[in-house]
Chain A
Amino acid sequence: MRTGSTARRLMAASLSLLLASCGTTRYSGPSPMDAHELSSSVLVIKDVWGAGVTHSWEPMSSFDLSRYPSRAIDSSLAGRTVRVAWTRNCEDERDACVEMCMKSLTGPDWSHASKGSRFKICDGRCRPAYIDCCRLREQAEVRNFPVVDDAVDWLKQHRKEVLVGTVVAIAGVAFVVIVVGTGGAALILAPAVLLVSSDVSSELPPMAVKP
């Protein structure tokens, strides 16, 4: 349900971008100042040879998505979006790992072991898998950054791990990763807020809907 609606919103976002791409002037302005400005801007992060990772905020109205191969907007989008759904429980996996390990450390060889030492060994053995699970979970979680600069820094740092469809909340505005690693851009994020209007009618109470 949630996935379907996200996919629909992404689809709508992409269409809006395509429609908005008629303008030809290019503009790389400073960071947007408020939520209104944010929600009509696109964030582009690039790997530039010799200059490291750069970013720019571009107004929706002049953004030309057609310059980027639009793999992200084709019909496989829904499939890609599913990949960010997180279903693992790292804590349960860790408990199961320790339990299995404890069972393997039984028998006469272990009868001399001091109290708690088997648990320590198993805890240590299961630790790397747990940390790995936590790391992946954090990547899949909806990221929330109250400060714009923190979001940009995090996205630059994790540009190679972020998946299409990942939602990042920047200063209260939800952004969706729509392009990853194509056409010279490492990442492109578009605000999801614009798209709410496309399926808002189903969420409004009946009395608010005007004929």
Chain B
Amino acid sequence: MARDALLFIEVTGQRYRFEDFRKSPGTGVPPRAEGFASLRERLNKTAEFFTQLRDEPESAAERELIQVILDALHFISSTDQYSAFGEYVAHVEAGGPPYVVAAFATKEEAEAWLKQLPQPPDSANILIANRYHDVVHDLKAHVLRLPRSRALAYYLAELKKEQPPSAVASFRSLEEATAWLQSQSEPASWAWVLIAGEFYLAAYYRNIHHRALYPLSMSKGYDEKSKETPRQ
């Protein structure tokens, strides 16, 4: 839960917002009572655990690091991001593809979106024409770029090893598969499908209601070549 909280802040590009929050806590929205009870419970329990850990005398050396985790948990609750965090945790626990915060058809659209944001996200992934891109935003170096990202290729290579492709559905064409994916109101975050005899990953990003099909062949060349002891 602690790792998820830190990763959530990173993949949703909220690094600078979180830094500002750490400098002046208490600026967020007060937590609301409705919904997400069990997630909140998990968050509270995690926070309790780390508070105890922080106050133990033997963890003096790690105190600062533990405080970052506590701040991350506090950040999510006091900025009222239970819903977004819950979606993220569900996506990660289901083993879905790298998280994205937005999807665009063209680079121009993505740039227009970035420009109108008061604080552009940092290190979040976005999709441009269903290709992964990073938002690289460095305040110190005045750098704001949208380079391509290889996150999906590495993910597909890992997934192929852990969950060898076995199709849940088979289609003759990409159009047919797209229609099938669009027709589902709540698809799984990922599933293997066969299109004209080739494996594809059918992906669903619940947080932005976006669906995409990625050919498994994208992972070619990104497989881990283990020179060490072979694994079972």
Q: Do A and B associate with each other?
A: yes
Which of B52-60, B68-76, B77-85, B139-147 is near enough to bind chain A?
B139-147
> Number of A interface residues, CB 8 Å?
24
Question: Are A116 and B147 within 8 A (Cβ)?
Answer: no
In the complex, what's the smallest C-beta–C-beta distance from A135 to chain B, in angstroms? 5
Interface presence of A134 (CB below 8 A): yes
In the complex, what's the smallest C-beta–C-beta distance from B108 to chain A, in angstroms? 18
Interface presence of B138 (CB below 8 A): yes
Question: Are B229 and A116 within 8 A (Cβ)?
Answer: no
Interface presence of B98 (CB below 8 A): yes
Question: Are A94 and B158 within 8 A (Cβ)?
Answer: no
B:143-158 near A, CB below 8 Å:
143, 145, 147-151, 154-155, 158
Interface presence of A141 (CB below 8 A): no
Interface presence of B7 (CB below 8 A): yes
* Beta-carbon nearest neighbor of A122 in chain B: B154
In the complex, what's the smallest C-beta–C-beta distance from A45 to chain B, in angstroms? 19
Question: Are A107 and B143 within 8 A (Cβ)?
Answer: no
What number of residue pairs across chains A and B have CB atoms under 8 A from each other? 61
Bound complex: CA A131 to CA B123 (Å): 12
Contacts of A98 in B (CB 8 A): 150
Question: Are A130 and B98 within 8 A (Cβ)?
Answer: no
| A 125-139 to B, binary, CB cutoff 8 A, 1 in contact else 0 | 001001110110010
Interface residues on B, range: 20 to 34
Question: Are B141 and A135 within 8 A (Cβ)?
Answer: yes
Contacts of A131 in B (CB 8 A): 136, 138, 141, 143
Contacts of A108 in B (CB 8 A): 228-229, 231
| B 153-171 to A, binary, CB cutoff 8 A, 1 in contact else 0 | 0110011001000000000
* Beta-carbon nearest neighbor of B227 in chain A: A106
Bound complex: CA A107 to CA B226 (Å): 6
Question: Are B155 and A115 within 8 A (Cβ)?
Answer: yes
Given the interface pairs A91-B147, A94-B147, the reply to whether A102 lies near B228 with Cβ below 8 Å is: no
Question: Are B136 and A130 within 8 A (Cβ)?
Answer: yes
Question: Are A91 and B148 within 8 A (Cβ)?
Answer: yes
Question: Are B143 and A135 within 8 A (Cβ)?
Answer: yes
Bound complex: CA A103 to CA B226 (Å): 9
Interface presence of A90 (CB below 8 A): yes
Bound complex: CA A106 to CA B226 (Å): 7
Interchain CB contact (< 8 A) of B141 among A90, A94, A132:
A132
Contacts of A119 in B (CB 8 A): 98, 150-151, 154-155
Question: Are B151 and A116 within 8 A (Cβ)?
Answer: yes
Interface presence of B224 (CB below 8 A): yes
Contacts of A95 in B (CB 8 A): 150
Bound complex: CA A203 to CA B162 (Å): 62
Question: Are B228 and A106 within 8 A (Cβ)?
Answer: yes
Contacts of B150 in A (CB 8 A): 95, 98, 119
In the complex, what's the smallest C-beta–C-beta distance from A169 to chain B, in angstroms? 19
**Could you tell me which A residues sit within 8 Å of B by CB distance?**
90-91, 94-95, 98, 102-103, 106-108, 111, 115-116, 118-120, 123, 127, 130-132, 134-135, 138
Offer 21 A-B interface pairs, CB within 8 angstroms, sorted by A: A94-B147, A102-B154, A106-B224, A107-B226, A107-B228, A108-B231, A115-B95, A115-B155, A115-B158, A119-B98, A119-B151, A119-B154, A123-B123, A123-B134, A123-B151, A130-B147, A131-B138, A134-B141, A134-B145, A135-B141, A138-B142
